[in-house]
């Protein structure tokens, strides 16, 4: 039986801010089974590199290709590796409302900060069906809910008016991850919710534009391969150092476009192998990144590794390196 909730204003304090990193899900090369020790190492690396939050079990984590037992193991392992050092938002999307709600309860049991819900559907749902789905999942735990709008993977587009209307009906739906690629939506969501609904960017090439439009976080797999550049972009953007932010993005943008264009699980796993931190192949039907693109990615990573990060405003004024 659903619990009765009293409507309340949006939360003024988002539970997640900054660079929120996606870990991929490692599989053993021999059998394709979960490689939980590798997942623990990767998650710990993301935290120690400076990520402000960790977001497992989205499309980057190949959540759609995991059994429920595997999903539970990845959730437990990732949150155990984080060990409360930073905030966590767990992707709980499932084709059924019951399955999504079950995953929400598992995430809560293992200590997630929040859950992320994508309208992952097969049949096209009506507005009423979508609203009831989100409400049922939100009711499954007391965790804050991040609504994930990614029409490219879900086939469902939730415009700002729909997002804000849903949030007004569901008290613990306080965050929105916007990945449609439409930069105008960051500001629109904030304005329609009177600045109280926290907005997160999930479109890598729009990272800087999103921060300038009021996004409080950037959800990205890029820190798996280039954590310092991602953190420097966030630092420059939030400090208002526009010249530096533009310069950092100029260097980082080809890499961000590449990993999105060739698919995050493929590109990130190829990049980790280049870095000597192999996490196995993507799970079928996904295939590994082709060799020509692996070579291109290698060149990009070598450039980011050797190219100096643009100086901070104070250092530029003093004529000193950053």
What ranges do the domains of the chain cover?
Answer: 18-240
The pLDDT value given to residue 307: 94
Give the rounded percent of residues in the chain with a pLDDT score beyond 70: 93
Give the rounded percent of residues in the chain with a pLDDT score beyond 90: 86
Cα 255 to the center of its chain, rounded Å: 17
pTM exceeds 0.75 = yes
Residue 153 has pLDDT above 90, yes or no: no
The active-site residue out of 148, 200, 234, 262 is: 148
CA distances from 38 to 20, 28, 81, 145, 312 (A): 19, 9, 11, 28, 35
Burial 254-270 (b: 16+ CB within 10 A, else e): ebbebbbebbbbbbbbb
Quickly state the pLDDT bin for 312 (edges 50, 70, 90): confident
Told to judge if 148 belongs to the known catalytic residues of this protein, a careful annotator would answer yes
The reply to whether 220 sits in an annotated binding site is: no
The pLDDT value given to residue 4: 38
Q: Is 147 helix (H, G, I), strand (E, B) or coil?
A: strand
Quickly state the pLDDT bin for 2 (edges 50, 70, 90): very low
What CATH class has 18-240? Answer: alpha beta
The pLDDT value given to residue 321: 58
Query: What rounded mean pLDDT belongs to the chain?
Result: 92
The active-site residue out of 177, 200, 234, 269 is: 177
* pLDDT tens per residue, range 63-97: 999 999 999 999 999 999 999 999 999 999 999 99
């Amino acid at each position: 039986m659903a619990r009765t909730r009293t409507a309340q204003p949006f939360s003024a304090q988002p539970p997640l801010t900054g660079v929120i990193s996606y870990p991929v899900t490692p599989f053993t090369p021999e059998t394709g089974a979960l490689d939980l020790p590798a997942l623990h190492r990767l998650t710990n690396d993301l935290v120690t590199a400076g990520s402000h939050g960790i977001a497992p079990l989205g499309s980057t984590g190949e959540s759609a290709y995991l059994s429920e037992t595997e999903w539970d193991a990845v959730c437990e392992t990732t949150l155990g590796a984080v060990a409360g050092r930073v905030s966590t938002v767990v992707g709980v999307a499932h084709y059924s409302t019951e399955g999504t709600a079950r995953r929400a309860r598992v995430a809560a049991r293992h200590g997630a900060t929040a859950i992320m819900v994508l309208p992952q559907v097969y049949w096209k749902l009506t507005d009423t069906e979508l609203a009831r789905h989100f409400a049922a999942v939100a009711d499954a735990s007391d965790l804050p809910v991040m609504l994930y709008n990614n029409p490219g993977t879900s086939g469902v587009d939730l415009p700002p008016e729909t997002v804000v209307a849903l949030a007004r009906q569901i008290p613990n739906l306080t965050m929105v991850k916007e990945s449609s690629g439409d930069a105008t939506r960051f500001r629109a969501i904030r304005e329609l919710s009177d600045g109280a609904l926290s907005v997160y960017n999930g479109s890598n090439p729009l990272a800087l534009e999103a921060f300038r439009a009021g996004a409080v976080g950037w959800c990205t797999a890029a820190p798996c391969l280039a954590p310092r550049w991602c953190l420097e972009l966030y630092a420059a953007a939030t400090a208002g150092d526009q010249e530096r932010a533009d310069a950092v993005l100029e260097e980082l943008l080809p890499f961000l476009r590449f990993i999105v264009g060739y698919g995050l699980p493929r590109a990130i796993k190829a990049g980790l192998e280049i870095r000597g931190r192999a996490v196995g192949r993507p799970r079928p039907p996904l295939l590994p990144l082709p060799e020509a693109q692996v070579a291109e990615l290698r060149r990009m990573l070598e450039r980011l590794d050797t190219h100096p990060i643009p100086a901070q405003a104070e250092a530029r004024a003093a004529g000193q390196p950053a």
